[in-house]
A and B are shown apart, each in its own frame.
Chain A
Amino acid sequence: MSERPDTEAVISVKHVSKDFLLPHEKTSSIKSGVINVFRKKDRTVDTQHALKDISFEIRKGEFFGILGRNGSGKSTLLKILAQIYQPTKGSIETRGKIVPFIELGVGFNPELTGRENVYLNGALLGFSRKEIDARYDDIVKFAELEKFMDQKLKNYSSGMQVRLAFSVATRAEADILLVDEVLAVGDAEFQRKCYNYFELLKKSKSTVVFVSHDMSAVREFCDRAILIENSELVAEGDAEKIANRYNRLFMDEDKGEINGIPQTNERWGDRRASFTKVEVTGKKVIDDKTESLTFTAEFTAGQDIPTIITGSSIVNAKGEEVCGTNTEHRRIKLTDIKQGETVKVHWEYPNIFTDGKYTINVSLHGSNSTRMADWWEGAAAFTVRREEKAPFVVTPDIRLKVER
């Protein structure tokens, strides 16, 4: 936290609590109100503590993650930051203009044309008519909806609506952007657009608050993060660390520790054999498409093992397993391993990877992925840099020849 002591806090959250009063029978008509007045005993109000004494600071230029499970209170916190909700206790201080992207297309009206909706939505984001006029062509072009702007929104497909809304939203000039994960829904191409936009924000050193439970996105974009669990702030710090902590929330309580290695969501198994070292032996940043990814996975048997299978897979920044294999598929037999024996497996993956960051999963298990001995997610990482930016999961060396 002391990496950048000079940068000022643009959001200070001080001891914020938020309670929602939930009457058992909601008094929204006079009749029930009158009845309840006479039956005071029955009028019970449940207080739901959505947030309890939350304090943290967000500094200028930070990409800040708010993580938590569904119902943990993270969305309430985002709404308090956006000043949509008032905190019950505590205060927040903000500096600069905040634009919330809690949902795309706020104020969109299906009865209005695309053009009219751009102006309406723009106004909610703080754009005057003139300012929209100046950006209008860009917005339409980015949304790829040139031919549809004078049609009513109700005739748009949902994908077109999202594109238009996103296109307006990305023009917003804010000091602080509040982004909800719901932004990144939609088809793969739209997600890519979203992530490109996040990357742009990150490069331009914008202050962004990002609420998510997509850990790969958090790992990729966020500098720092907090973890909200049961309405309380349970951890704050480096995004990678918090993302791991988040994953551990889902760990079964009874897993505990085996052979001195804690069981987590990323690493578990009965440890009859366990990895001791997984290391990228070639370049960690592969910028040459002819260069392969090479790594070595080393494991030691904790007991005599008649037969075992070891595998690996490559995971991209979105959390998709791109490719992988194991010794069983390759018909390589690993039998009669004595207790204490160390086995080295050298892996070489041809560079079919699309530009981006990747992690490596390794595993040790019985036949057909049964009896996991050691499952290690994100055992190592590497990056691929490519000129060719294709929106596909993999980018193999496709040859093509044009003849005319």
Chain B
Amino acid sequence: MTGLGRVASKYRYSIILLRELVITEFKLRYQGSALGYLWSLLRPLFLFIILYFVFVSFLKIGGDIPHWPVALLLGIVLWNFFTEVTNNGVTSVVDRGDVIRKINFPKYVIVIAGSVSALINLLLNLVVIAVFMAINGVDLQWGALLSPLYVIEIFVLAIGLAFFLSAVFVKLRDINYIWEIVMQGLFYASAIIYPITLVMEKNHKIAELMLLNPVAQAVQDIRHVLISTHNPTLYTISGNNMLVAAIPIVIAIAIFILGAWYFRRQAPYFAENV
């Protein structure tokens, strides 16, 4: 076999596996439920309706940001996507330990398979968001076309973390509890359920610091381009400083590279450690 042929066949195996793992995961998730896949849409929809009433009728913290409830929902959807990719990731390798001990296959497929189902959920959730945007009369700008780039940024960060965490979890089973706590903290530090303007009013510098977190920055940017430019971004807060605005992106890419590198280094030993 030529070098090229070998690469192609290796790639082929990964795709076949990935596809089958994703299909399996999806089937298993909705097994025995009467409405099945419909829950992927219904779940976020009802969650949104509840949040909508809580935050719009009781906790009026949106301030003067237009369409704040939609921005809030969008933030929660993106955050859920981030948690789903990382949480699916942490235990993914150990969960497949049984198979890993019996056959050799590209291990990264497992981690990616876990994230694909999160991606599908994200898309379904975004459909619901689009409905809410239409109901709220959000005025779409051309800048909305940039939003997928920020989604990709979140994904790159999340998958990098998933690679790292899943490999660590094989050796250190405490990591999922640690990660749970980190995520709790990160959730409140990422300005998901309150507008970043609340922080800015108190301390401008802290708001800027908070947005160095790639998740917070990406969510803020998506709110900015998709819903209303009244949502400040790291770029606008830092006084249009390109260098500062690039920091979270660099962080996301660095975490991805480190996570993937560590995973690759550990993968050959999964079978004996898992």
Interface residues of A (CB under 8 A from B): 20, 28-31, 33, 79, 82-86, 96-97, 100, 102-103, 106-107, 109, 111-112, 116, 119-120, 122-124, 126-129
Contacts and interface: CB of A to CB of B under 8 A. Distances in A.
Interface of B: 1, 9, 12-13, 16-17, 19-21, 23-24, 27-28, 31, 99-105, 171-174, 178, 268-269, 271-272
22 contacts: A28-B171, A28-B173, A29-B172, A29-B174, A30-B174, A83-B104, A84-B100, A84-B271, A100-B102, A102-B103, A103-B102, A106-B103, A111-B28, A112-B28, A116-B24, A116-B27, A123-B19, A124-B17, A124-B105, A126-B16, A127-B16, A129-B19
Given A82-B103, A86-B269, A100-B102, A126 B20 contact: no
A59 to B, nearest CB: 18
A84 B101 contact: yes
4 A-B pairs with the lowest CB-CB distances in the bound complex, closest first: A123-B20, A83-B104, A86-B268, A30-B174
| Residue of A82, A86, A111, A124 most packed against chain B (CB within 10 A) | A124
A119 B24 CA distance: 10
Given A84-B101, A100-B103, 10 more contacts: A20-B272, A30-B172, A112-B28, A116-B27, A122-B20, A123-B17, A123-B19, A124-B103, A127-B16, A129-B16
Contacts of A100: 102-104
Given A20-B272, A33-B172, A120 B102 contact: no
B271 A79 contact: yes
Contacts of A122: 20
A119 B20 contact: yes
A84 B102 contact: yes
A304 B272 CA distance: 62
B102 A106 contact: yes
Contacts of B104: 82-84, 100
Nearest to A103: B102
A109 B21 CA distance: 11
Given A123-B16, A127-B16, A128-B16, A109 B28 contact: yes
A119 B27 CA distance: 13
A96 B5 CA distance: 12
Contact of B271 (A85, A119, A126): A85
Contacts of A84: 100-104, 271
A268 to B, nearest CB: 40
A102 B102 contact: yes
Contacts of A107: 99
A29 B12 CA distance: 38
B24 A120 contact: yes
Greatest chain A CB density within 10 A among B1, B102, B178 is at B102
A91 to B, nearest CB: 13
A185 B269 CA distance: 29
A85 B272 contact: yes
Nearest to A76: B272
Contacts of A82: 103-104
A106 B99 contact: yes
A320 to B, nearest CB: 30
A83 B104 CA distance: 6
A124 B99 contact: yes
Nearest to A28: B173
B13 A126 contact: yes
Contacts of A85: 271-272
Contacts of B16: 123, 126-129
A112 B30 CA distance: 12
The residue in A31, A119, A122 that gathers the most chain B C-beta atoms within 10 A of its C-beta is A119
A107 B173 CA distance: 23
Contacts of A33: 172
A247 B272 CA distance: 31
A86 B273 CA distance: 12
Contacts of B178: 30
Contact of B173 (A29, A103, A116, A126): A29
B17 to A, nearest CB: 5
Contacts of A29: 172-174
A33 B171 CA distance: 11
Contacts of B21: 120, 123
A141 B20 CA distance: 23
Contact of B24 (A28, A109, A127, A129): A109
B269 A28 contact: no
A122 B20 CA distance: 9
B174 to A, nearest CB: 5
B171 A112 contact: no
A107 B23 CA distance: 13
Contacts of B268: 86
B168 to A, nearest CB: 11
A93 to B, nearest CB: 13
